[in-house]
Chains A and B, each alone.
Chain A
Amino acid sequence: MSQDVNVECSAMLAGISAYLDGDLDATECQAIERHCRDCPRCAAVVEGLRETIGLCREAGSTPLPEPVRQRARASIERLLASEKPSET
């Protein structure tokens, strides 16, 4: 019995990223959600990965430090000024 559970957990964990990315169909999603209701360990793994992805996306949404942006803007101005066609 426990071996069946392990096989089921392994199958669930293999598809967990596809589940979190929304790549599974409704039937497959329901199977994972049903399994997680009965398996606290797998439920914890799903929640942990969800948090990890959220942390990364939050970090990716953070703008760069302002001093870095200022230097980037200055570089752009220098480049565009140097490439500006002569008006004479």
Chain B
Amino acid sequence: MVNPSAREGAGPVYAELVREAAGGDRDAMERLLMRAQEVAYRFSLLVCGHPQDAEDVMQDALLKTYRYVSRIKEPEAFRTWLYTTVQNACRMKRRRHVGEPSHQISIEQGATSGDGEAGPVEVEGHTRPADQLVMDAWLSGRLRQALRALPPSYRMIVVLREMEGLSTREVAGVAGISEANVKTRLHRARVMLRQALEGV
């Protein structure tokens, strides 16, 4: 089984699911809600780098998608709306973490000690320990580490375009920048990612 979101041209598939769900198709609604949560999970981990927020962001995506379908106007715009909504949920979640360090952490690494060396971070209680192993198997540590080396705005472009399969136009809509700017950032991000991968 593959991630159904990560396909070029998945936008029309989403739009069709939204229409069917809005028309009362329970199976379509379930599939749409599952995809919304999958998007939220991946975005939390890969773009925001906050695995401890993932479950809350998933819940937010679940509820907002359910409400979105009941007052749908533009099914074709759903995917852009979903990623924008998830991005906002991640931001809001961070704002609520008053007193937390502002730097980002990841699954296996992130707390920076006084000597500047990144060390392991205790995430038990936020992510279930059993999940840690499957998450490690889900995405190679090498790629996660390379992604972390990118500036957040570049990381988002790479994840949305390369991993989630959004079109350049959709990425521009989510990031709030022009399509030309998306292409420029994507190129720079690819080069940086390559360099990071070679250094890992």
Question: A79 near B66 (CB under 8 angstroms)?
Answer: yes
CA distance A62 to B140 in the complex (A): 11
Residues on the A chain within 8 Å of B30, using CB: 76, 80
10 closest cross-chain pairs (CB), A and B: A60-B163, A65-B134, A60-B6, A56-B162, A17-B187, A72-B37, A61-B2, A52-B194, A76-B33, A48-B194
Known: A17-B186, A56-B143, A59-B163. A67 touches B34 (CB 8 A): no
Residues on the A chain within 8 Å of B198, using CB: 48
Residues on the B chain within 8 Å of A18, using CB: 183
The prevalent SS among residues of B at the interface is: helix
Within 46-85 of B, Cβ neighbours of A (below 8 Å) are at 54-55, 58-59, 62-63, 66
Is B98 in contact with chain A by the CB < 8 A criterion? no
Is B102 in contact with chain A by the CB < 8 A criterion? no
Is A4 in contact with chain B by the CB < 8 A criterion? no
Is B190 in contact with chain A by the CB < 8 A criterion? yes
Question: B163 near A56 (CB under 8 angstroms)?
Answer: yes
Is B38 in contact with chain A by the CB < 8 A criterion? yes
The closest CB in chain A to the CB of B163 belongs to: A60
Is A64 in contact with chain B by the CB < 8 A criterion? yes
Residue of A52, A63, A67, A69 near B128 (CB, 8 A) is A67
Is A37 in contact with chain B by the CB < 8 A criterion? no
The closest CB in chain B to the CB of A83 belongs to: B66
The closest CB in chain A to the CB of B134 belongs to: A65
The closest CB in chain B to the CB of A52 belongs to: B194
Residues on the A chain within 8 Å of B193, using CB: 52, 56
Within 45-76 of A, Cβ neighbours of B (below 8 Å) are at 48-49, 51-53, 55-57, 59-69, 71-73, 75-76
